[in-house]
Chain A
Amino acid sequence: MFGIDIRQKAWSAGLIVLFFVAWELFCLTTGMSDLVLPRPSQVFVTLFQRFPVLWPHIVQTLATTMFGFVLGVALGVALGAIIGVSKTAYDTCYPLLIGFSSIPKVAVVPIFVLWFGSGTVPAVLTALSICFFPIVVNIATGLATTEPELEDVLKALGASKLDILWNVGLPRTMPFFFASLKVAISYAFVGAVLSETVASNRGIGNVMMTASSNFNVPLVFAGLFVLAGLGVALYVVFSLIEGQVTGWATRKNDVIAT
């Protein structure tokens, strides 16, 4: 099992390297102008050289993302718990929620800017509004899928709704919750960058916007690489937390794999 794991990782790493090598070779052989598609080596050099300038923007984007994410999680958990516990609330709220979630979030950025001016606030709000929906859905689903038999067993013992929620509902929801956190952190990131691109003078999104209007294409790509790196890092962090907290939900698969 261990050997397979290592080999799998080697293949993944190999594919990433192959991707960049192919890209580099493609640019070199076709003599592609770096105004259209810079070579990855150029991008990495630019990234390295301009890093001191990029750093405050990275911090800005990260802070905005995390802030929107934390607010989105708090709101999502609260709303998810309410609609997950009560069938009536679930049926009542769902159509409205679907309505909200299907609005493309790019469309709401101008409204946030109109209300709060350009800058950090609309970015936080965009991150929040984009990441909060998967959390609501997952919390609500987790709570709503408690086995009716177990609920009967506990109710017959005189358990209150709170007893059942605390002992069964919440722990059962944890895997759903952490799975949704992984999705939500990526979404929050997308939301923050989106808003920065449209209306802000700070953040990676803004750097890329400015760089592209100056035709500094390698810097645009450097921004893109930073975003990819940050996105992967955040995803990994939440995957690790998930593995620690809800290992029981995936342990079954490990045994089957052995």
Chain B
Amino acid sequence: MRMQPKTQFGSQSVPEGAAATAIELSEASVTFGRGDRAVPALSKTSLRIADGEFVALVGPSGCGKSTILRLVSGLVQPTSGVVIVGGREVAARAMRVGMAFQNPTMLPWMTIERNIMLPLKIVEPFRSNFRRLRKTEFRDKANALLEQVGLKGFGNRYPWQLSGGMLQRANLCRALIHEPRMLLLDEPFGALDQFTREELWAILQNLWMTHKPTVLLVTHDLREAGFLASRICVMSARPGRILDDSRVEFARPRTVAMTFEPDFVALNQKLRTFIEDARSAAGQGAG
């Protein structure tokens, strides 16, 4: 299925192929606009992601990484090709995935707890029971998640009382509250400082290891990709294609210290080279 050769990294080897397919893009292309002003965002991309996998998408900016996320979430329809998520074709119906962006977009008039419960107001079967359970079961659920990300006791605070890193943790909780099988993250830690970011890597890894959703993470940070992902796809400049698809098989839970070990650095170097090549091929120059 995969067009590119697969490369092995790390010491641990995990058997592959047993899990069911969660996401499958075959020859998917997306073009925005029409006629002369048409902008190809993604060209004939094929990608298969197994259930429970943690995949990072890296590549030069504007290469269509976010477009893949929007395809999978059903926000964008492919111009050609097929996108299959959870065994069915993404059609007009949205996929009820959990999403988180760089901007945490907490609603300022609600407490953190109620912000996190927002998806439960929308997604069935929670939606029909929302009025009945929002003060009991659902609130406990929100607080259990908050505890997992180290925000215990912050549920009844308002968003403006929390720091950027805390808001981003709450954002992850909101993306997970309705128990989605799929978590789509678009540069969720892009606006945070290095230390907060590393702290959140560990939290996200922990969330993934306990809930085991399929994760698709778009990031610019190669260390972040290496730390979190079990697979890294490198994309070319616009219109995007997948240039390289590597497995990352460092043992979990991974630590920040591991990101400075030779194997990890070598992986980083390799990814860097791919992206720099892609950038210069697109005429943007490397730098």
Contact = CB atoms under 8 A, between A and B. Distances in A.
Interface string A149-168: 11011111111000100011
Interface in B90-114: 93-103, 105, 107-109
Interface in A160-201: 163, 167-168, 171-172, 174
A170 to B, nearest CB: 11
A90 B96 CA distance: 30
Given A171-B109, A248-B108, A255 B122 contact: no
B123 A157 contact: yes
A159 B160 contact: no
A255 B119 CA distance: 29
17 contacts: A149-B103, A150-B105, A152-B75, A152-B101, A153-B99, A153-B175, A156-B74, A156-B97, A156-B184, A157-B122, A163-B122, A167-B122, A171-B107, A172-B107, A248-B158, A249-B109, A255-B160
B279 interface: no
Contact of A249 (B97, B103, B108, B118): B108
A167 B120 CA distance: 12
Interface size class, chain B: 20 to 34
Nearest to A152: B75
Interface of A: 147, 149-150, 152-159, 163, 167-168, 171-172, 174, 246, 248-249, 251-252, 255
Contact of A153 (B101, B108, B121): B101
Contact of A156 (B73, B108, B118): B73
B44 interface: no
B125 to A, nearest CB: 13
Contacts of A156: 73-75, 94-99, 184
B74 A153 contact: no
Contact of A251 (B73, B94, B160): B160
Interface-central residue, A153, A172, A249, A255, by most chain B CB under 10 Å: A153
Interface of B: 70, 73-75, 93-103, 105, 107-109, 118-119, 121-123, 158, 160-161, 174-175, 178, 184
Contacts of B98: 156
B178 A157 contact: yes
A157 B176 CA distance: 11
Contacts of A155: 73, 75, 94
A150 B167 CA distance: 14
Nearest to B180: A157
A249 B184 CA distance: 30
A252 B106 CA distance: 14
Contacts of A251: 158, 160
Nearest to B118: A167
Given A156-B74, A248-B109, A167 B121 contact: yes
B79 to A, nearest CB: 19
Contacts of B123: 157-158
B93 A153 contact: no
Nearest to A256: B160
Contact of A147 (B105, B121, B175): B105
A157 B109 contact: no
Contacts of B122: 154, 157-159, 163, 167
Nearest to A150: B105
A153 B94 contact: no
B214 to A, nearest CB: 14
Q: Which of A152, A157, A171, A251: most chain B CB closer than 10 A?
A: A157
Nearest to A166: B121
A159 to B, nearest CB: 5
Contacts of A174: 109
A156 B98 CA distance: 7
Contacts of A249: 108-109
Contacts of B73: 152, 155-156
A249 B93 CA distance: 34
B96 A157 contact: yes
Nearest to A164: B122
A158 B93 contact: yes
Contacts of B184: 156
B105 A153 contact: yes
Contact of B107 (A149, A152, A168, A255): A168
B170 to A, nearest CB: 13
